[in-house]
Structure 1
Amino acid sequence: MVSIQQISVSVIGPGHLFNGQPNQDSVLVKSVPTGWVAVVCDGMGSKLHSDLGSKLACLAVLNVINKVDFIIESKELIKQIYQRWLNALGDVKAKDAVTTCLICWLSHKGELRTFQLGDGLILTSKKVLEHVDSNDFGNITTGLGKSRKFSDWEITHHQLNKGDVIALMTDGISEDINQGLEMEFVNAISENIKGKSIRQAKTWLKNEFRNWATPNHTDDKSLALLVINK
C-alpha cells in the first residue's frame, strides 16, 4: 500500500477578486480503492460557467476513478469522465463551462498514470509535462467542452518510488516559474510543509500564493502535491 503526504490549495486571483468573479480553478486530492487521485482544473475565464465546469470536472474524475480498475484503457477512462461531466452539467451547455483537466492517478504499487487536456503543468520526479496550446494571437487552450478528440489528451504511465514527488498546477502558477526551475519550486514547497499539519501547510501555501512574487499577477492559482513516503 502506497503512503503519501499530500496538500491541495486553490486561491482566487486578484483579477477575479477585483471584478467580483468567483475562483475559476478547482482542485482535489483523494484516496480511492486503487490508490490516490489528484485533479486540477482551470475553467476558461471567458465562459459563463467556467467555475462550475472546473468543479464538476474534478468530481467527474473522482467519481469515475472510484469505480474502475487501474488498468482501464485510457480512451475508455476519458470517455467515461467526459460523459460523467456532461451529465453533471445538466442544462448548462458544455461550451459555456470549458475547463482544462489535469489528472494524476497513483496505484498502491507506485504506478502513476497522468492525463492532461489543456494548459498547465504536471511535474513528477521523473519528468516535467507541460502543455500549452497557443498561436500568434495568444493562448487558445483547449479543454473539456471544447475538445472531443482523444488525441488532444497527453497521457503518460511510469513507475515512482519512495521520495518521489507529483505536482499538478494551473497556468496561474506554471507560467510564472522560470523554465528549468520547476522541480526546485516544487521541492521548496515539499520541504516547507514537512512537519506541518495539513491545516498549517494549507495556510502557509495559501499565503504564498496570495503574496505571489510576480508583479501584477491576476490569475487564480491552484496546486496539488503528493510526496510518496513508502
Structure 2
Amino acid sequence: MYVITADQVASRHHPDRASELIDALVARHRSALVLPADQTAGDEVQLITESAPAALEIVLDATRDEHWSVGLGVGHVRTPLPDAARKASGTAFIAAREAVQAAKRADGRFALRAASAVPAEPGRRIDELDAAQVEALIRLVVLIRERRSDLGWEVADLARAGHLQKDIATMLGISAAAVSARLKAAMWRAEADALPALVRLLAGLDAGAGRAGTS
C-alpha cells in the first residue's frame, strides 16, 4: 500500500495550505483513497491508496506548486482500517515519515522509502525494483515539471485531460503549431511516456512490501 505524506514548506511564514491541498487532491483522487485524506500534525497532509497510478499522480499533483515536501511510503498497513488516516499504522507509515523528512533536503522536495526490498527471483536482478532508483526516476519527472511555464501547463493540463492538439488549439485560439511547440517546451511527451514505467515499478515495490507484511 502507498502512504503519501506532504509537509508544508516554510509553514511558519505562510498561511496554512493543508485544507486547500486536501480539497484539490480529493477532487481528483477520492475514488482511489482507502481512507479520507487527513490533516495530521500541524500543516501535514496524509493520504492512503492501494493504487500505484493514483499514488504517482498524487505525488505529482502535490509537488506541482512547490509549497510542499512530499514523501511516498510503500509498505504494509495494518487492518482492519480505522476511520481516519491519522489513526492508521503500519510499515508504510514509517516509510512515509522517513520519506517526507528526506524530501525536505532533496531536489524537487520529493523522496520515496519502501519498507522492504523485493527478494531476488530467477531471471530478475534484485536492484530492478530498488526504491532509491525508483525515487530518482520519479524525481526527474518532478524536476521536469518544475521548469514548466504557465503557458506550458495550460496546454499540458488540456492534453492530460485527453484533448487532441487540434482541439487544444481551437480552445485556446492559437495555431496547432503553437500547441505543439508549447508541449515540446513543456516536455509533456517525455513525462507522459515515463509514467507507465514508473507505475509498474511502484507496483513492484508494493508487491514486495506486501509479501514482507504477510510473512
More helix by share: 2
More strand by share: 1
Higher RCO structure, 1 or 2 (CA under 8 Å, sep 6+)? 1
